[in-house]
Amino acid sequence: MHTNQKCAKTARLTSERTEMELVRILFTAAAVLTGCFFFRLYGLAWINSARLARKLRKQGVRGPPPSLWSGNTSEMHRIQAEAKKRQQQPATILAHDYTSTLFPYFEQWRRRYGSLYMYSTGSRHHLYINDPELVKEMNLLVTLSLGKPTYVTRTLTSMLGNGILRSNGQLWALHRKIIAPEFYMDKVKGMMEIMLQSTQPLLQKWADTVDAQGGLMADIMVDEDLRSLTGDVIARACFGSSYQKGREIFSKLRSLQKVLSSQQGILFSGVPSFRFLMKKKQKEAMRLESEIEGLIWETVKERREKWSETNEKDLLQSILEGAMNDDSHLNADASKKFIVDNCKNIYFAGHESTAVAASWCLMLLALHPEWQDRVRKELSEVCVNGTPDSNSLLQTKEVTLVIQEAMRLYPPGAFVSREVLEETQIGHIVVPKGVYLWTLIPTLHRDVDIWGPDANEFKPERFANGVSKACKVPQAYVPFGLGPRLCLGRNFAMVQMKVLLSLIISKFRFSLSPAYQHSPAYRMIVEPEHGVQIVIHKI
């Protein structure tokens, strides 16, 4: 009996060992098969990338030699790390050229290979184009064969949804058809009173700060005040409500931008990454996305209830009517998605980018007080009692020159980027489907062959006779893009900055604070890393 029990126990243990061994074998086999699948998948992608490279190489396009696994990504990281080590002191303001610090690999390769070269990030192949004639042709092509890079915009889904800033093809064409008319200049002129009203609290706040600090001067960090202002303008224009209603939305969008900016840089994408290590960040982004969409839709519903009570027709109502009346006949769910996504796009583009551009304008004006004097003199000549209003501001020119030059030196958007969705000819180059195109705007805006030997200097007078006379190739000036993809909010942003700067200059003199640290940083857009700090005096 004892022997039988012992045999049974031995048999059971043997069976368990066999089962465990079988599980181990199956797990190992599954892991090997999974690994083989992904290696094969990546291998096919790499082979495709190599094929694209051969097609470009046959046309005389050169570039840094890629490694088998990561392309040029390791080299990009190495060059970036070396540039960071060399940057012991804050960047000099006088040169205004930050490209060698923020994008040193592009600058290094440009010096080595010229204004047209190729590089890869693992399985993705890229074509860098900074030749002005090729940039001109690329931007002016009227085709749906070029779109926003999907691998880049995919990382911004939570920020932008499927709105106009990240859509392609027919969907992008539909968005543009509905939204573009709402930003024509005649519509923007009708929003100037909103801009004037929204700027008054900022002027009063700064005046009160001067009084509180002794009545002579005050040291002010301008960035958050400008974000509040541009947010207020967007909220009033879009929803007909005050900034208080949109404050939470803007705050969460800003938090979401920081989360997305802290993740793997889009310029290094293309190499398999261990995204599971970033689950905490992804969960945070998903939470913020859900909260932002809920807040926007809640505000939309509140506004819709009031449309029948008032005769107001704001930007949101116009977009909604355009979506409902379009031939494509968007259904209820699609209309809701259309509204929410494009509200997020308008918030981001009209709120964040405009505030950052205005910050750079104030920095440059603080550095060049003679241009404050020129703007102030013109305002005194064209404005009744020296107080800017919507009619007189349309006649001013000096502040427009300042904005144009600031947008040349510090364009918020650093790149024009495109994905070739179908084989396309650009100049003498036939670009295969699947290649990604990149133009570094700050480099284009500082090219001495285009702008002359003073390309790195702040000289607004270069625009006195328009962009066509400011440089040799006008299409090389692309702070808002060019051609079919020209930023829809260009008129809105220019008028808003014109109103803001004119009102500030009419009320204050200002200079750079000794505490100001010049350090442009790339966080989806190029912004002052430590903010813009100025010393203001009431006039």
Q: In whole angstroms, give the CA distance from residue 320 to residue 323.
A: 5
Q: In whole angstroms, give the CA distance from residue 396 to residue 382.
A: 7
- Pairing state of beta strands 525-528 and 520-523? antiparallel
- Dihedrals φ, ψ of 250, to 5°? -65, -40
Q: In whole angstroms, give the CA distance from residue 393 to residue 378.
A: 10
End-to-end CA distance of the chain: 108
Q: In whole angstroms, give the CA distance from residue 119 to residue 104.
A: 14
Residues at the binding site for heme are 487
**From the CB of residue 20, how many other CB atoms can be counted at a distance below 10 Å?**
10
Cα angle 319, 320, 322; round to 5:
65
Candidates 451, 100, 441, 412; CA nearest to 226 is: 412
DSSP 236-286: HHHHS--HHHHHHHHHHHHHHHHHHHHSS-GGGTTS---GGGGHHHHHHHH
Q: Which residues, at least 6 apart from 255, have a Cβ–Cβ distance to it below 8 Å?
A: 288
Q: Which two tokens stand for residue 481?
A: 């893009």
The sign of the CA dihedral 144, 150, 152, 157 is: positive
Residues at the binding site are 487
Q: What is the dihedral of CA 452, 456, 460, 465, to 10 degrees?
A: 20
CA distances from 163 to 58, 89, 243 (A): 38, 40, 23
Q: How many CA atoms lie within 13 A of 155 on its CB side?
A: 20
- Pairing state of beta strands 533-538 and 508-512? antiparallel
Q: In whole angstroms, give the CA distance from residue 279 to residue 283.
A: 6
Q: Are residues 352 and 254 in contact, defined by beta-carbon separation less than 8 angstroms? A: yes
Candidates 515, 469, 521; CA nearest to 87 is: 521
Q: In whole angstroms, give the CA distance from residue 237 to residue 246.
A: 12
